[in-house]
Amino acid sequence: MDVLETLDLSSLESVDRETQQKSIRSLEEGKVIYLPKLGFALNPHENAFLTPKLLSPKSKNVSFDSRRGVHGADCENKDELKAMMERFASHANQVIKSLFPAYADHIKQGRTSFRPAEISGRPSSYRKDDTRLHVDAFPATPVRGNRILRVFTNVNPNGVPRIWKLGEPFETVVEKIIPWIHGPLPGLSYLLKTFKITKGVRSAYDHYMLHMHDMMKGDLEYQKSAGQTEFHFPPQSTWVVYTDQVSHAALSGQFLFEQTFYLPPKGLCHEESSPLKILERFLGKKLI
Ligand code: SIN
Ligand code: FE
């Protein structure tokens, strides 16, 4: 299976129904929807934000959501930074609305992130090392079956691509990794919630997804032997991915926007290809 579904659009106006149907099918099958001609133009004064010096000392990214505002940045013109983050959030929202109108009733917008630091060569623990193949899962924020859909745009001003690796289909990852994972310990999810280690109860689905994430990253033999293809996303290109399903690794690059969305399972058009259904079929039990 080709891992990319490339769409030739340079604008989001009048996307035809056929393109929308093809896009949603490919997206839910686990492909990356790649829009090589759809960029995100910065306003001239926003070029000043294209520096890792923008980040506060312990932050890797600038993050924004409408309730908590902007975090992770040390700068004077916070209002202008917030306006840029909001503009990308609304651009990403437009991408989703135009390509996947079927999601409109159920999708929820999450955090917006701006990543002005070079990602290669950054020291980190193996669990946080996104240069290793993984599927996304959050240790502290259980999703309980909700999908993690992300829109990325490379805004590098120097012609530098975002280099990713795309791994094996989700089913293959499950077959190789899940047999090594023990089921959740009874009562643990309530302890994690009670001691505020997780926001809400970690479902069995979250347990398996998180352990899959950790085990993929921690197994260097898997990292070497898994089927994988490198892909270069050039500046002013956009891609949309279910990062809870598509095995990916981000090797290098600098200056990226990312917008996270959450979609409950009932919002999917092809639910049978979701990670939840694939895991439930493989394990022969309900996980939510
Ligand atoms: C990731 O989701 O693993 C990181 C993506 C990126 O920063 O390019
Ligand atoms: Fe990731």
49-53, 74-78, 193-197: lowest mean pLDDT where?
193-197
For position 188, what pLDDT does the model report?
A: 85
Give the tens place of pLDDT for each residue, 120-143. 988 889 999 999 999 999 989 999
* DSSP-assigned letter for residue 131: T
Beta bridge partners of 256: 115, 154
Q: Is the pLDDT of residue 159 over 80?
A: yes
Q: How far is the CA of 131 from the centre of ligand 1 (A)?
A: 8
**CB of residue 250 inside a 6 A radius of ligand 1:** yes
Distances (CA, A) of 101 to 62, 68, 98, 240, 288: 29, 28, 6, 14, 27
Q: Is the pLDDT of residue 269 over 90?
A: yes
- As a whole number, mean pLDDT of residues 147-173 equals 98
Give the residue whose CA is nearest to atom 8 of ligand 1: 250
Contacts of 37 (CB under 8 A, 6+ apart): 8, 9, 10, 237
- As a whole number, mean pLDDT of residues 224-244 equals 98
Q: Give, in degrees to the nearest 5, the angle at Cα 134 between 151 and 122.
A: 85
Confidence of residue 74 (pLDDT cuts 50, 70, 90): very high
Better pLDDT: 187 or 269 = 269
Pocket test for ligand 1, best of 131, 243, 251 (most atoms within 8 A of CB): 243
d(CA 99, CA 181): 36
Confidence of residue 76 (pLDDT cuts 50, 70, 90): confident
Give the tens place of pLDDT for each residue, 237-260. 999 999 999 999 999 999 999 999
Atom of ligand 1 nearest to the CA of 243: 2
Nearest partner of 116 among 177, 73, 173, judged by Cα: 73
How far apart are the two ends of the chain, measured CA to CA in Å?
30
**CB of residue 131 inside a 6 A radius of ligand 1:** no
147-154 vs 256-263, strand pairing mode:
antiparallel
Q: How much of the chain, in percent, has pLDDT values that exceed 70?
A: 100
**CB of residue 244 inside a 6 A radius of ligand 1:** no
Tokens of 167: 């791994």
Give the residue whose CA is nearest to atom 5 of ligand 1: 250
For position 132, what pLDDT does the model report?
A: 97
For position 193, what pLDDT does the model report?
A: 85
Q: How far is the CA of 62 from the centre of ligand 1 (A)?
A: 14
> Residue written as tokens 């197994």?
219
d(CA 91, CA 75): 24
Confidence of residue 175 (pLDDT cuts 50, 70, 90): very high
Q: Are 13 and 40 in contact (CB under 8 A)?
A: no
Atom of ligand 1 nearest to the CA of 130: 3
d(CA 268, CA 270): 6
Q: Is the pLDDT of residue 14 over 90?
A: no
Q: Are 168 and 222 in contact (CB under 8 A)?
A: no
Confidence of residue 1 (pLDDT cuts 50, 70, 90): low
* DSSP-assigned letter for residue 115: E
- As a whole number, mean pLDDT of residues 176-204 equals 89
What DSSP letter does each residue of 225-240 carry, written as one string? HS--EEEEE-TT-EEE
Q: Compute the mean pLDDT over every residue in the chain, rounded to the nearest whole number.
A: 96
- As a whole number, mean pLDDT of residues 177-190 equals 89
Q: How far is the CA of 130 from the centre of ligand 1 (A)?
A: 6
Beta bridge partners of 150: 241, 260
Q: How much of the chain, in percent, has pLDDT values that exceed 90?
A: 89
Pocket test for ligand 1, best of 60, 130, 131, 252 (most atoms within 8 A of CB): 130
